[in-house]
Structure 1
Amino acid sequence: MRHDKVRATLLMAASIVAGTLAWSGYILLLPVAFTFPVLWAFARTRLTAAVVSAGYFLAASRGLPQGVATFYSSDLWPGLLLWLCASAGFVIVHTVLWTKKTGARPRRYLLAAVLMAVPPFGIAGWAHPITAAGVLFPGWGWWGLVAATAGLMGLVTRMWPTVAIVLVGFWVWSAATWNEPKLPKSWQGVDLEMGASLGRDSSIGRHRDLIATVKDRASGEPFTIVLPESALGFWTPTVDRLWVRALKGTDATVIAGAAVVDAGGYDNMLIAISAAGAQIVYRERMPVPGSMWQPWRSLLGASGGARAQFFENPIATVADSRIASLICYEQLIVWPVLQSMLHDPDVIVAVGNGWWTKGTSIVAIQRASVEAWARLFTKPLVLSFNT
């Protein structure tokens, strides 16, 4: 009994280390997440499997309590509660599907991986080990995804040492030859440091400052400029006219985050603006659960909250390019990017408004995740974040 407790404690400690290192924001450390299925398979009881799963997920999402406290200007308790609630799905799935039968483990783990990649469990499917496929198998595309999945399944079998050695070999080779995703020609992402005021300051002065930034960036080669999530605040006819008029006489196209509000709630979206006019090119498929997406409000007869489009608008055409858009939270989960990749886009556009993540590694993790996907599918990547 004492030996089992020591074993469980060591497995939990190892899972915490794995979650911390893999999701530190350093892209080449993402494959450390492949340690999790090994530790899960080493568990001798369902309780130990639950503890290992909780240790990994809570360590991977450790920045959430502080981020929530900053966002709501509150103490840590709401963030801690959300942190624990978010881990519930991951822990439940991996606890229920754990088995002592060695032969059944690969199928069970595959099912767990699939469940954590798609709704409903995939809504909180952060820290998914499959994200590391882009580091282990850059440029392999869908075959790389298959190879990574096979590797994850192999790590829960008795052949795990051999599988691990092979994966480490791919990891070392990838690290030695690593190249950042390319920026598409004539595109540029603009990072801003406007803190919480971005999207909340709707003054004409703020819009004119952003327009000046765009024109300055577009004075050279780039003609498609990407601004962060919420950069335009609430999208209204007045804001529409202001931006379209400001771009008259230029060839620039601006893609920027905005929100459209109606009686039922709001859509978090991306707007493409040029001298010819403005159009909505993307409505967020998965807003942040809890703080933005609040489906219980409709059940209670209340309105408000961001709408989730789930599987809508995976790609859009802007400036003669087919783009896959990922807004903030969508960069941390699996199905939005894979759905977009099914349509073979020309460019991945990833934006975020991460002012509330100060002091955490959340934005770095978002960047690492989307860069890994871009490298897996060899897609040019445009990033734009506000901090």
Structure 2
Amino acid sequence: MATEILEGDGLRVRIEPLEARPHAIADNPQSLLQQRELRQELDGTKHRLLSFQTEDDDGDQPVRFKAAVYDYTNQRTLLAAGDPDDLGSVTFTDSTIQPLPTQEEFEEAIAVLKQDSALGEPIQSGALTPYRPMPPLANATLADGTIERILNVGLYSERSDLRHRFVGVDLARGAVDHHPEAAARASDDDCGVRPVDRCSRPGRSGKVRVTVTKEGEELWGFDVVRPLQSSGTNGSGVELMKVDYQGRRVLQRAHVPILNVEYSGGGRRHGCGPTYRDWQDEEACFEADGDDVVLGYRACPTPARTLLDADTDRGNFRGVAFFIRNEQLFVVSEMAAGWYRYISEWRLHADGIIRPRFGFAATSNPCTCRTHHHHAYWRLAFGIGNAPSVVQEFNDPPVSGVGSWHDIRRETRRLRHASSDRKW
């Protein structure tokens, strides 16, 4: 681990790893499978740890963890939770919730397809190229409520009139469904760049602290969490935490906890959508040249280039890149969700303005040619001067009878209205 310095446009940026004390389970999630009750429950079964996530209280240390273990033999998910330092505190519940597929599962699904009588030879010869599609699962619900976990696999062919087709793989039985219902239809439509995404996959690596100064005066100070370790069930992209400007707290946390894709009628008729809830904790490759602060965080003297800039899925880095341009510090990462590629970006200007940006792209697929909309929902947890949170709404003319500004006292949904110049 090393502290890195970036300089440009009068700004000096210091990026340093945040030291975290060891945690018995958080540092080695696979050790969870050795917990006595869980080991007894899974004895003799085929199972796999599919997800592991620590929760925090906006402090520096995790206070709890959540994990999902899938039992293929009994077609069920075991949800575990507890203290990241104490195996004895772990509790688990039986659930039908289906976690997102892991890269390890996808590779096992390809191995099953290579043994299929119809698909094995063309996959091994390269005539068919497997890729991760949307939706990621084509689960089947049995009469007794059991859910069969079936991974969707896309198959691409350059030399066929049918560019894209989809199959389902049941890892519990090693079986292949050649016509899964919960998948896009086979199609000769082809949109997006060729999928590559083959750079190395760095493991978990904590947070970094960023300090931005100008002429010796501190402007910005904040923590950064990479998408791989971001909060929420489906991740939340690049997270900023404890954001200070000129020594005063501005935001406690800033991220995108919800990301949806919605297809209109034309796409739906071809099996696309109608909506997908996408995840933001799977990092994709992009071009970022520089020096690593710690695995997954890179200080770049020149601007990083995502798929939107380079028009390619190739890259040399996964994680968060930092660079300076136009008196702004850019904090950027590229993420993958099936064939989608998302760019999570924050721009912090010397004048105190934060500009969040979210980009949308895709690798080869039959759906994004058709009309669809991406909906990214930012969550900004303000912490002005560490004072208690107050949310106010402005309307002109007023709607509350007590002036243009009024307090929002309870969680609610409020729509923009141009006629009243509504803002918050």
Q: Does the alignment reach a TM-score above 0.5?
A: no
TM-score, length of structure 2 as denominator length: 0.22
TM-score, length of structure 1 as denominator length: 0.24
Tell me which protein shows more strand as a share of its residues. Answer: 2
Greater RCO (Cα-Cα under 8 Å, separation 6 or more): 1
State which structure, 1 or 2, has the greater radius of gyration over its C-alpha atoms. 2
